[in-house]
Amino acid sequence: MNNIVFIHILRFLFLVLFQTIVCSNINFLGYINPYIYVLFILLYPITNNRLLFIFISFLLGLSVDVFLDSGGTHAAASIAIAYIRPLFLKFSFGAVYEYHAVKFSNTDFSQRLVYFLMLIFIHHFILFSLVVFDQNELLLIIKQTFYSGIFTLLLCLLLTTLFSNKKT
């Protein structure tokens, strides 16, 4: 049990640092950055203690915000997907989820893809809506959501495949 907690703390710190030091400085084609830290929320074990989960997600988003000077945008987007995650778990993994038996390393690639895709795009849409904060710029929000979302999705799939064997 302690081992799992330790791994998650480590993952939290690693993802926040990796996000702020590396990913936010990529600026692919001028403005496209992946937001890789959502992986923490996506891969958080399925628990009944949702209060703790939402609170940790808030901390995660807030730490990214502090580094990137973005107010509370990442925090808001993070807790939003943390809150609606069970809905998408049920949708993507179906009956397996009901028994709390989902282990992300054992799931089908296609199921995982759908699950990642939906949560990442919702996260990015909320994030960019708050970052741009202007309803007249809906096209810009959607464009940024789309490009950054694809980038994040690719990186997330890559990282999960890379580390899938070592995962406990």
What does the binding site for other proteins look like in residue numbers (CB under 8 A)? 17, 20-21, 24-25, 27, 30-31, 33, 50-51, 54-55, 58, 61-62, 65-73, 75-76, 79-80, 82-83, 130-133
Least distance in Å: CB of 134 to other proteins? 8
Give, in degrees to the nearest 5, the angle at Cα 12 between 120 and 121: 5
Nearer to other proteins, 92 or 144 (CB): 144
> Is 77:131 a contact under the CB 8 Å cutoff?
no
Tokens describing residue 45: 């074990």
Nearer to other proteins, 69 or 166 (CB): 69
Tell me the CA end-to-end span of the chain in Å, nearest whole number: 11
Nearer to other proteins, 33 or 160 (CB): 33
Least distance in Å: CB of 7 to other proteins? 22
State the Cα–Cα distance between residues 74 and 66, nearest whole angstrom. 10
Tokens describing residue 100: 């709390």
Nearer to other proteins, 115 or 128 (CB): 128
Least distance in Å: CB of 66 to other proteins? 5
Least distance in Å: CB of 39 to other proteins? 20
Binning the chain into helix, strand and coil, the percentages to the nearest 5 are 75, 0, 20
State the Cα–Cα distance between residues 144 and 36, nearest whole angstrom. 15
